[in-house]
Structure 1
């Protein structure tokens, strides 16, 4: 096997002792090998194989994720630069990340729970997904810094003029009732943070990000293999443990990227009458493919209760839309959140 990349990393494990490790990538007859060797207490320790396979992209995904895990544990490369360009943060972005880091360690849990309860109630009243009102990250920030005025509320990352105007009084009714020992502006936060724990936290965020990317990459591969094997949506669901809707979202991505997904479309539309398929196609021609609901209403009526249920109909609409977009490339549509 030919080693094409190697780097050494070290980790402080005590007052003076250090653990050393090597990260390496090798190639042999078209197969990529990615591994880690720890030279800590046992210098004869064997390699831990992180990846063996023919996909460069998947190997790279595993590399990023596993390296983020190790750097989150405190390992640092002796040859600087590896991974650095993807983790370095500066300026305003760094300030906001430090605010987030501090909030995760110093939030008021009672206030956070009260804010979550407010979000549930408000999202129910407005028929919106809770995350559209406020993310968990924003609620953590609010619970840690406890703004007491609109001016202070606007200093919290994620709160803009519109959100402050619409929800500010309700949020402040929760945050201003709690005691706080700090002040605004929040320029003091950076001085309270130790750099090494903060750096490890940043790598943990990268670990989460790369894990999602790797899972998505593996799902794409599983779906392509399943489609080639003649699987339908239900079989793909059993293979991947993802929902049918999540699978369809990735199938749309695959089609957009030029992969062949027609066998799946043909299988899923076998029981759909040709006249019904034509009606859906014509609705896309008339209304465009930006949203699914107008097409549903056009074909099935505004009080649609089609046989098989709305979920199955939406699946078919999306599958036909894949074909429609392929034949009308450049329409520039997006997937409606239903």
Structure 2
């Protein structure tokens, strides 16, 4: 059972006595539970269930309805790190970015969001990167919710730094400008229209999801490193981790960037590629650079072969060869220095 939200409320009674209650939101395997435990002035603790089910929307509806009822009876939150207003607790850019993320999940423009995802797929294929490195779902949701029409407006969204704006700003604005919007920039108005209690629960949920994701990522990383040390290939790594082939390749790139030795895996996978193709690709990397894979692909695959060639497989081994090329280039620079 994962506790997503836990807070204490108190109600003053006759003769300056205090009645205490605990409000809990928990999740287990997709099942939500909301419970209220109240300690009367005398006697045993009374516990009641406000909701049990799988719907986040229904859970939040029951949460709000029952909480309003208890507050009307005189219960008030204690001031602590969970129940206090998150805007007052954190402040600054961090909490503002979370507010924009929370709000965008409620009102994003579905058609625009789908167009942005289609653009991301095309751009990631061009660069030979994971789509989520180009732009996360969270970022695309915010773009589709607030619909910026200028570079200055786009820069107000968290996650859009100077480099990403330079790389992708105009392309994304070319899409967003096709859609009208009702809201305005700057986005300082957003914090005044959100439901604070809902946001606090959502915030706790985000923290728990991040904890679980971090744990799963660490477990996946350990399985991959163990597999690489044992000399297995990508197909075996897929079985050990339940990842798709493209995801394993992305992990290999990340682990290589962190300094882990991916050499044995690269050599094993590149054995299936002809030496002639490898030499052509290395020559193309040297002449065209190694940032984008599409120009390199076009340099080694003739237009007439594009339709019959397994381009996914070609992109895959180019990504792996690029790692070897970059490492060798770094070694050459060190030796030259």
- 1:116 alignment partner in structure 2: 110
Helix, strand or coil at the partner of 1:260: coil
Change (3 A) 1:165 1:80: closer
Deviation of 1:122 (Å): 7.8
State the distance in 2 between where 1:279 and 1:204 align: 50
Aligned residue pairs total 244
Hey, what's the Cα distance between the residues in 2 that align with 1:125 and 1:10? Answer: 41
Matches within 5 A, 1:44-193: 89-102=90-103, 104=105, 107=107, 115-120=109-114, 128=122, 135-140=140-145, 158=157, 166-167=174-175, 170-172=178-180, 175=181, 189-191=190-192, 193=194
Match for residue 236 of structure 1?
Answer: 237
- For 2:173 and 2:233, the matched residues in 1 are separated by 48
Provide closer, same or farther for how the CA distance between residues 163 and 141 of structure 1 changes in structure 2, counting only shifts above 3 A.
same
Q: CA RMSD in A?
A: 4.8
For structure 1, list consecutive stretches of 5 or more residues without a partner in the other structure.
Answer: 1-8, 21-39, 42-77, 82-86, 177-181, 333-338
Determine the C-alpha separation between the residues in 1 that align with 2:199 and 2:276. 60
Equivalent in the alignment of 1:203:
204
> Which residue is equivalent to 2:256?
255
TM-score if structure 2 supplies the norm length? Answer: 0.54
Aligned residues of 1:138 and 1:157 also touching (Cα < 8 A): no
1:217-232 mapped onto 2 (5 Å cutoff): 217-232=218-233
Seen in structure 2, the aligned counterparts of structure 1 residues 186 and 305 have a Cα distance that, compared at 3 Å, is closer
Shift of 1:248: 0.9
Report the CA distance between 1:239 and its aligned residue. 1.8
Deviations 1:128-158 (A, max 9, x none): 579969722443457xxxx9xx79x959964
Selected match of 1:12 from 8, 12, 34 = 8
How big is the shift at 1:251? 0.7
Is the 1:99–1:141 contact (alpha carbons within 8 Å) kept by the matching residues of 2? no
Residue 247 of structure 1 and its aligned partner are, at CA, apart by: 0.8
Cα deviation for residue 164 of structure 1 reads 9.7
Give the Å deviation of 1:294: 1.8
Distance apart, 1:11 and its partner CA: 3.8
Q: Give the secondary structure class of the aligned counterpart of 1:312.
A: helix
1:272 match = 273
Cα shift at 1:170: 3.6
Partner residue of 1:84? none
Are the counterparts in 2 of residues 325 and 331 from structure 1 also a CA contact under 8 Å?
Answer: no
Q: Structure 1, residues 2-48: CA drift from partner, whole Å, max 9, x if none?
A: xxxxxxx974278614499xxxxxxxxxxxxxxxxxxx99xxxxxxx
More helix by share: 2
Distance of aligned partners of 1:262 and 1:190 in 2 relative to their CA distance in 1, 3 Å threshold:
closer
Return the offset for 1:327: 1.1
Distance 1:308 1:221, change over 3 A: farther
